[in-house]
Amino acid sequence: MTTAPHVLVVGEALVDVVDGIAHPGGSPANVAVALGRQGVGVTLATQLADDEYGELLRAHLTASGVELVIATATRTSSATAVLDATGAASYSFDIEWAPSFPELPAADVVHVGSFSALSIEPPPGLLSYDINVRPALMPDDALARVERLVDSATIVKASDEDLAWLYPSLSWQEAAVSLLTRGPQIVWVTLGAEGAIGFTSSGRFDISAPKVEVVDTIGAGDTFSAGLIGGWLSWGDDWQRVGEHAAGLAAQTASRRGADPPRV
């Protein structure tokens, strides 16, 4: 009997406040939720307080099949999102992130991402890393920390905007190839409505974005990351199929308010 694979996600869970309404969010938490809704066994190691936002997040995560390892916080983190005319979000943050975790469970796949990944050692078995730059929260040595994580990862995902921030003297294509030379098997670059491209040492994979009515982009990139992991667990290195799966899930999330990945 084969045991189903299990994914460990390490990173922040927070509340996105959009138009005065609190929505569960946080990039790693969104990845965990999107994995759970794909039917993938997943644990999220995060930091929450015993407050209203913390209860909202606990209920949201467990309802999506996510197991929790929680480090205590004095307050649950939040981000206020402001949407532009295209539905793209910019954020201001109220963050507490200095977790002290007990021993983390073993997993077949480990995923980290966003600002929280920069303050932890790469966990053993790291497979997936979503760079997901948050300029307001990036330390002075952000590039060195990002590259250290890239060195440990098999799948790396970034947006073209992430790469422009990290490597202002390079095109995003040049930056992606530079990251690939550090050792990951594939570097995915998401391009919003233009889809995504996966770069490998043997070629590239061009993925079209499904056409949807975009409500907002909150959680779409995180859903793409979860789609990459779930697709890889199902189909291995069939990167075209994996990328198309991830793009389809991300498009569904972009068609909904807040980070609300589809159930599949």
Q: What is the pLDDT averaged over residues 213-234?
A: 93
Q: What is the pLDDT averaged over residues 209-231?
A: 93
**Helices and strands counted in the chain (H then E):** 7, 13
Q: What is the pLDDT averaged over residues 190-218?
A: 93
Percent of the chain with pLDDT over 70: 99
Extract the tokens encoding 40.
């993938």
Percent of the chain with pLDDT over 90: 78
> What pLDDT digit, counting tens, does each position of 37-79 carry?
999 999 999 999 999 999 999 999 999 999 999 999 999 999 8
Higher pLDDT, 216 or 15: 15
Q: Which residues face 146 on adjacent strands?
A: none
Residue 2 reports pLDDT greater than 70: no
Which band of pLDDT confidence, cut at 50, 70 and 90, is reported for residue 217?
Answer: confident
Q: Rounded distance, CA 213 to CA 256, Å?
A: 9
Q: If you search the block for the tokens 């507490």, which residue do you land on?
A: 96
Per-residue pLDDT at 1: 43
CB 10, CB 27: distance < 8 Å: no
Higher pLDDT, 88 or 9: 9
Q: Rounded distance, CA 89 to CA 139, Å?
A: 21
Per-residue pLDDT at 215: 84
> What pLDDT digit, counting tens, does each position of 71-112 carry?
999 999 998 877 787 777 777 899 999 999 878 888 999 999
Return the C-alpha torsion angle 19, 24, 30, 34, nearest 10: -110
Q: If you search the block for the tokens 């098997």, which residue do you land on?
A: 185
Q: Rounded distance, CA 54 to CA 40, Å?
A: 23
Per-residue pLDDT at 63: 97
> What pLDDT digit, counting tens, does each position of 113-149 carry?
999 999 988 777 778 999 999 998 999 999 999 999 9
